Amino acid sequence: MSTQADDDKEDTSGRPTKAVVGSHRDEEEVFGKAYDPRIIRRIWSFVRPYQSRIFLSVAAVLVFTLTQLAIPLVIRYAIDHGMTAGRLDRSVMIAATGAFTLVILINYAASYVQESVVGKVAENVLSDLRRAMFSHLQRVSLSFMDKTEVGRLMSRLQGDVNSMQEFLETSVMSVGDIVLLFGIVSVLLWLDFRLGLLTLSTMPVLFVVRLFWLPRAKVAFMAAHETNSIANGALAEGIHGVRTVQSLERQHVNFDLYDEKVLANLNTHLRSAKYAQVMVPIVDTLTGIAMATVIVVGGSMVLSHSLDIGVMVAFLFYIQRFFDPIRSLTMQYSVMQRAMASGQRISEVLDVPVDVSDRQGAVALTRYMDGSVEFRNVTFGYRPNQPVLKNISFRVNPGETVALVGPTGSGKSSSMALVHRFYDVWSGQVLVGGHDVRDLTQDSLGDQVAMVLQEPFLFSGSVLENIRYHKTGASREEVVRAAKAVGAHDFIENLPDGYDTELEQRGGNLSLGQRQLISFARALVADAKILVLDEATASIDSYTEMLIQKALVKLLEGRTGLVIAHRLATIRGADRIIVLQNGEIVESGNHEQLMAGKGLYARLYNMNYASFDDISGEEMAMDAALGKAT
């Protein structure tokens, strides 16, 4: 116990050496190249169906911009031709006001049309894009889905698709911005060339300033974005793990560590706010300088009668609008970069190859097949050169139940996935009803092979909907009959709304055993000839387990069953047991035969576990080694 005494001398005053809060997630690239023709083409293919509406909105933007340009000209006309000394003319006033009214009505209509058309087209394009990704993901092979975090996919379906929205909307606007910019420049030069030139001389200053500002500001904005997500991550972790945090008395340590992250977040935000705000006074000053120029120079020109007052007023009007397009056009650059990065990720999802697809001329598997399952010299794996199944051959005769037994990683689940053709074999053949699964249509294979997974996955919706998930046409009576058959009826009836009870996400309001029973009922309603089942390993209370055992017998009645068995009762009830180890079949036969054979199965059985799953892989390997030694 001397070590214990030593350990107690730990110095808890300093900074804890073994503590972090939150974790650092690699941020996905936010900015890409500003222009990537491949991605533009890809995105355009989604915009094309709305081509005519896009043209309409571009036209509306142009009309809108023209009215913007026209307003100061109308005012100038009214002043110069109707109000200057010696030229007081009421009819000009009426005409000008009429023209003004007309222009602002057109302006209103154009802005309405443009914004609402672009807005809706963008929403539609996003929706189409999302659907294309979603439906593609329904077809890509499970090997891709296995490797990819759901969260990451979701962020592509949501975040990346959303960031295209900004791009779509602003792209149309920037057409207007460019026209507005050139329009203002031309009008100014046309109204008075010298004064125009003088006023415009401030414009390059802003361009240069923004050129220097943008890259720095972007870094600051990124940093703020990142510290924000770090702080949020730490917060989320603290909330999820609150029980653990409290029971281990980590609050104080976590508080200090979180404090640091929040402080860092504050600092980066202050910095990015500084960058955002620094442009405001610069633009204001430049506007002021331009206005002062117009007033001083233009004013003296008016006094010397070389300039009309109306022109000067129009100048002042234009100067107000002058910097807007420059600002949004330089912003557009970052928007483009962001959109390209997102577009890249979206294309990646859309380009994931569909490697399990129906062969040309694939036939449909009908109900009248015999219901046999056969593996012929099957070799299969997930990573090159690492086969999970090695040259496996076995046959399950119609109506027979075969139990697959073996430690984790022995290839049980992979065999099961192959029957349903989630993956294609490397070599050999998997036959269902006498047909190679690769010659069958996937839909028909799915109809005839029902699968029950270890972790029953329920969807939000009512119990009824979940049970007839596969056969949506099943009647309520059929569903109730199935539930009764598997012994789920009683507890379903006891739910608040019986069969119409809405399940929480993933069936969170049911116990694991209950979820398993519902998934049994689901398989029964599907009424497939072949049942592939992975028994639940997690502990279920003894009563529910009894129900499940009974239900299983019912479910297998008259069906071919391939069961990954964990419970001894199931194993002993099977017609045949196949013992797998490291992707190879080590033994097969029924319980009595295997016991008499005194092989691996017999030794495992005699180790006296309640369930084969209790036996760890290490132990099994150890036992195998011992077996060889003796």
Partner 1 sequence: MLSRVMDENLGGIRVVRAFAAQRHELEKFDRAKLSALELANQRVDIRVANTSAMNFSFLAAMGLVLWFGGQKVIAGQISVGTLAQFLTFMTILQMPVRQLGLMVNSFARASTCGTRLFELLDAELDIEDAPGARDLVVTDGVLRFDNVGFRYEGAGGRPTLSGISFEARSGETVGIVGPPGSGKSTIAHLIPRFYDVTSGSITIDGQDIREVALQSLRKAVGVVQQDAFLFTTSIENNIAYGNPWARETRIGQAAEYAQLHNYIIGLPAGYTTVVGERGASLSGGQRQRLTIARSLMLRPSVLVFDDSTAAIDAGTEQRIRAAMKRFARDRVTLIISHRLSSLMHADQILFVEGGRVVERGTHEQLLALGGRYRALYDLQLRPDDDRPLAGAA
Strand boundaries in 104-263, DSSP class E = none
Q: Scan residues 168-197 and list those touching partner 1 (CB under 8 A).
A: none
Among 134, 182, 190, 255, binds partner 1 (CB under 8 A): 134
Q: Give 296's contacts (C-beta < 8 A, 6+ positions apart).
A: none
Minimum distance from CB of 603 to partner 1 (Å)? 14
Choose between 95 and 223: whose C-beta lies nearer to partner 1.
95
Tokens of 16: 């804890």
Determine which residue in the list 45, 127, 186, 475 makes contact with partner 1, applying CB under 8 A.
127
Question: Between residues 208 and 610, which has the closer beta carbon with respect to partner 1?
Answer: 610
Q: Is 281 exposed, middle or buried (0-12, 13-18, 19+ CB in 10 A)?
A: exposed
Determine if 453 is a binding residue for partner 1 (CB under 8 A).
Answer: yes
CA 603, 608, 611, 617 torsion: positive or negative? negative
Minimum Å gap between C-beta 173 and partner 1 is 12
Stretch that binds partner 1, among 119-127, 181-189, 386-394, 492-500 (CB under 8 A): 119-127
Per the listing, tokens 């889905």 go with: 145
Closer residue to partner 1, CB minimum distance, 391 or 545:
545
The rounded distance, in Å, linking the Cα atoms of 21 and 325 is 44
Kindly state the smallest distance separating residue 71's Cβ from partner 1, in Å. 7
Among 154, 219, 273, 621, binds partner 1 (CB under 8 A): 154
Q: Contact region for partner 1 (CB under 8 A) — 17-25, 370-378, 395-403, 550-558?
A: 17-25
Q: Specify the residue, 157 or 585, whose C-beta has the smaller distance to partner 1.
A: 157
CB of 37 to partner 1, least distance (A): 29
CB of 38 to partner 1, least distance (A): 26
Least separation in angstroms between residue 105's CB and partner 1 is: 8
Residues 331-360 that bind partner 1 (CB under 8 A): none
- Would you call 230 exposed, middle or buried from its count of C-beta atoms within 10 A (0-12, 13-18, 19+)? buried
Kindly identify the residues of this chain, within the stretch 518-557, that bind partner 1 according to CB under 8 A: 522, 526, 538-539, 541-543, 546
Please compute, for residue 608, the number of CA atoms within 13 A of its CA located in the half-sphere on the CB side. Answer: 0
Q: Which of 41-49, 237-245, 258-266, 578-586 is the region at the interface with partner 1 (rule: CB under 8 A)? A: 237-245
400, 373 Cβ separation under 8 angstroms: no
CB 608 → partner 1: shortest distance, Å? 5
Q: Is 19 left (phi over 0), alpha (psi -120 to 50) or beta?
A: beta
Q: Which of 2, 17, 52, 304 binds partner 1 (CB under 8 A)?
A: 17
Which residue, 157 or 187, has its beta carbon nearer to partner 1? 157
- 213 contacts partner 1 (rule: CB under 8 A): no
Question: What does the DSSP assignment read for 399-463?
Answer: T-EEEEE--TTSSHHHHHHHHTTSS--SEEEEEETTEEGGGB-HHHHHHHEEEE-SS----SEEH
Each residue 458-477 as x (binds partner 1 by CB under 8 A) or -, in order, gives: -xx--------xx-x-----
**Contacts within 8 Å (CB) and 24+ apart, 548-554:** 548/513, 548/516, 548/517, 548/520, 550/487, 551/485, 551/486, 551/487, 551/488, 551/517, 551/520, 552/520, 554/485, 554/486, 554/524
240 near partner 1, rule: CB under 8 A: yes
- The span from the CA of 537 to the CA of 119, in Å, is 51
**Interface with partner 1, residue 292, by CB under 8 A:** no
Interface residue with partner 1 among 244, 267, 300, 427 (CB under 8 A) is: 244
Round to whole Å and give the CA distance between 235 and 314: 55
Under the criterion CB under 8 A, does residue 130 sit at the interface with partner 1? yes
Using rule CB under 8 A, residue 300 touches partner 1 = no
Nearer CB in complex with partner 1: 10/497: 10
CA neighbours within 13 Å on the CB side: how many for 396? 31
Residue 215 or 281: which CB sits closer to partner 1? 281
Binding to partner 1 (CB under 8 A) within 482-521 occurs at 505-506, 511
CA–CA separation, 515 vs 507, rounded Å? 7
Of 45, 51, 158, 590, which one interacts with partner 1 (CB under 8 A)? Answer: 158
Question: Closer CB to partner 1, residue 37 or residue 247?
Answer: 247
User: Three-state SS for 606?
Assistant: helix
Of residues 54 through 113, those in contact with partner 1 by CB under 8 A are: 71, 75, 78-79, 82-85, 88-90, 93, 96-97, 100-101, 104, 107-108, 111-112
Size, binding site for partner 1 by CB under 8 A: 114
CA atoms within 13 A on the CB side of 31: 14
What's the closest the beta carbon of residue 275 comes to partner 1, in angstroms?
Answer: 20
SS3 384: coil
One of 95, 142, 223, 495 touching partner 1 (CB under 8 A): 142
Q: With CA atoms as reference, report the closest residue to 530 among 459, 429, 444, 592.
A: 444
Which of 250, 327, 376, 603 is close enough to bind partner 1 by CB under 8 A? 250
Dihedral sign for Cα 517, 523, 529, 532, please.
Answer: negative
Which is closer to partner 1, CB of 224 or CB of 450? 450
Which is nearer to partner 1, 37 or 150 (by Cβ)?
150
CB 575 within 8 A of CB 618: no
Which of 2, 5, 14, 204 is close enough to bind partner 1 by CB under 8 A?
14
CA 539 to chain centre: 32
Positions 568 through 627 that interact with partner 1 (CB under 8 A): 568-569, 572, 607-610, 613-616, 619
Nearer residue to partner 1 within complex by CB, 161 or 340: 161
d(CA 439, CA 444) in angstroms, rounded, equals 11
Q: Please list the residues that pair with 584 across neighbouring strands.
A: 581
Choice between 130 and 218, CB closer to partner 1? 130
* Footprint of partner 1 on 363-422 (CB under 8 A): 408, 420, 422
Q: How far is the CB of 35 from partner 1 (least distance, A)?
A: 27
564-588: burial string, b at 16+ Cβ within 10 Å, e else: bbbbbebbebbebbbbbbbbebbbb
